[in-house]
Amino acid sequence: MKILNAFEGVFFEIWKLLLEMSPYLLFGLLIAGLLHVLFPSQKIYKYFSGNSIKAILRASLFGVPLPLCSCGVIPVAAHLKKDGAGDAPTLSFLISTPTTGIDSIFATYALLGPVFAIIRPVSAFFAGCLAGIMILLLNKKSEEIKIVEEECISCEKSPSKKPGILLKVKEILRYAFFELLDDIGKWLAIGIIAGGVIGFFAPEKVIETYLGNPLMAYPLMLVIAVPLYVCATGSIPIAASLIMKGMTPGAGLIFLIAGPATNTATLSFVGGKMGKKTLFIYLATIIITSLLCGYAIDVLYNATEYNIYSFQSGKKIIPFSVKVLSSVVLVFFMLISFFKIFFLKGKKVKGDGVLFDVPDVSCENCRLKISSEIRKLPGVESVNVDLRQKKVEVKGEFENRDIIDAIEKAGYISSLYQNKKEDKE
């Protein structure tokens, strides 16, 4: 019975977490789709490519005003990374963006006053820059970004032809809810489930207990905030109410920085798509920044005796019906993604078409990139990328050299492989 109750409790927490995350995730996916259509890859290469100080500064500054939460920023960061952004600016963008935004800056000013409203975006920018610089220092080998002149999206054969509105909308939706969600869906699912488990076994009373002492409040707020899902705006009333009950302002700022910047879904994405070392830098940067800024604001408030307790209660609420609808839509597209991953990705090549060896193909993102490039070629009827055998099977009428060029254009090594018919002969 206890096991059943625990299962029901975890399921409820997962559903509750999904309700809170889904609207922001869908919004982030749509923004990623817009970026994919409106901003060609050359601009990504120019402003965010490689690992340079300028790219880090641009990514951090660009991310501060965007109203994206720690879940909504995932698909946008995946898009930037996929289109040529380096690890350093991608991580900078991934940290600075969810920590604050235009809407949360005004909400912070309304509930916590001008000091918090200033230090919060400044800390977000600082954390993004620090993370990027740490990547530069630890990664001695800079990334080689291959600049690719891509054809016009939505019109495969005529780059000079401007696609219509309907074609642009179609491409936005296709990229956002199919291609990009195929790439990040698994990590989101892992993070949501882990967040539900943590939410059930971590009682809410712990959050509101023993927060008056900085020595206890700082580490406790970090332990709570890092895995917890909370958006930049939604975290403000929580921090305000806790401060009014006796929590130190510095602990509140730690929660405002670490809470929106991290959650189990983001941690899963960074660790799975960018590596363990990047995940360590990501966490270390947020922890260091939040502790330094938290301590600084406590010193400031103690020295000036600034009145932080004159708050106005308020909260930006998304209607429950919108949350439910967003959750249903998100789960629907994630199920489609999982179906393709588990039932189509593992489809073995039969040798009915022409086979190509691709030794460095390894993940779903690889499959999507290769398939997308090959399907642009005239005469191609179907493409099957087998990740297990590391082969690509193409059917249709085409030149083999064109297929190899398309695979190399996607960033992978390729060579022709004999098919079954030739083997029999």
In a domain, 410, yes or no: yes
Q: Are 364 and 282 part of one and the same domain?
A: no
In a domain, 329, yes or no: no
Q: Are 222 and 359 part of one and the same domain?
A: no
Instruction: For residue 141, give both structure tokens.
Output: 């080998």
Number of Cβ within 10 Å of residue 166's Cβ equals 9
Q: Read off the pLDDT of residues 88-117 as tens digits, 9 standing for 90 and up.
A: 888 898 889 888 877 677 767 766 778 888
Q: Are 359 and 418 part of one and the same domain?
A: yes
What pLDDT is stored for residue 229 in this prediction?
A: 67
Q: Are 256 and 139 part of one and the same domain?
A: yes
Per-residue pLDDT of the chain (425 residues; tens, 9 = 90+): 677 888 888 888 888 878 877 887 788 778 777 877 776 555 655 677 767 888 889 889 888 877 666 666 776 777 677 667 778 888 898 889 888 877 677 767 766 778 888 898 999 999 999 999 998 887 754 444 444 444 444 444 444 456 678 888 888 888 778 877 776 777 678 777 876 776 677 555 655 566 678 888 899 888 888 887 666 766 776 777 777 767 888 998 998 898 888 877 778 778 877 788 888 989 999 999 999 999 998 888 887 765 554 444 334 567 889 889 988 998 999 888 887 766 655 455 566 788 888 876 666 666 777 888 888 888 888 888 877 778 888 888 888 888 888 887 776 777 776 544 444 44
Give the count of domains, the chain: 2
In a domain, 332, yes or no: no
In a domain, 207, yes or no: yes
Residue 79, classified by CB atoms within 10 Å of its CB into exposed (0-12), middle (13-18) or buried (19+), is buried
| Pairing of β 354-357 and β 391-396 | antiparallel
Domain boundary among 271, 304, 337: 304
In a domain, 318, yes or no: no
Q: Are 122 and 254 part of one and the same domain?
A: yes
Q: Are 92 and 73 in contact (CB under 8 A)?
A: no
What pLDDT is stored for residue 345 in this prediction?
A: 52
| Pairing of β 391-396 and β 415-417 | unpaired
CA distances from 334 to 22, 298, 302, 352 (A): 11, 43, 49, 31
Q: Are 227 and 262 in contact (CB under 8 A)?
A: yes
Q: Are 173 and 75 part of one and the same domain?
A: yes
Q: Are 288 and 417 part of one and the same domain?
A: no
Quote the pTM value. 0.57
In a domain, 44, yes or no: yes
In a domain, 196, yes or no: yes
Q: Are 374 and 276 part of one and the same domain?
A: no
Backbone angles phi and psi of 384, in degrees to 5: -130, 115
Q: Read off the pLDDT of residues 195-253 as tens digits, 9 standing for 90 and up.
A: 677 667 755 565 556 667 888 889 988 888 888 766 676 677 677 777 776 788 899 89
Residue 356 pairs with which residues in a beta bridge? Answer: 392, 416
Domain boundary among 262, 278, 304: 304
**How far apart are alpha carbons 282 and 125 in whole angstroms?**
14
What integer best gives the mean pLDDT of the chain?
76
CA proximity to 95, closest of 114, 119, 113, 70? 70
What pLDDT is stored for residue 39 in this prediction?
A: 65
Q: Are 167 and 39 part of one and the same domain?
A: yes
In a domain, 19, yes or no: yes
Q: Are 140 and 272 part of one and the same domain?
A: yes
Q: Are 376 and 266 part of one and the same domain?
A: no
Domain boundary among 269, 285, 304: 304
| Segments forming the whole domain that contains residue 398 | 354-424
Q: Are 262 and 226 in contact (CB under 8 A)?
A: yes
What pLDDT is stored for residue 157 in this prediction?
A: 43
Instruction: For residue 257, give both structure tokens.
Output: 């920085």
Domain CATH for 405: 3.30.70.100
Q: Are 375 and 240 part of one and the same domain?
A: no
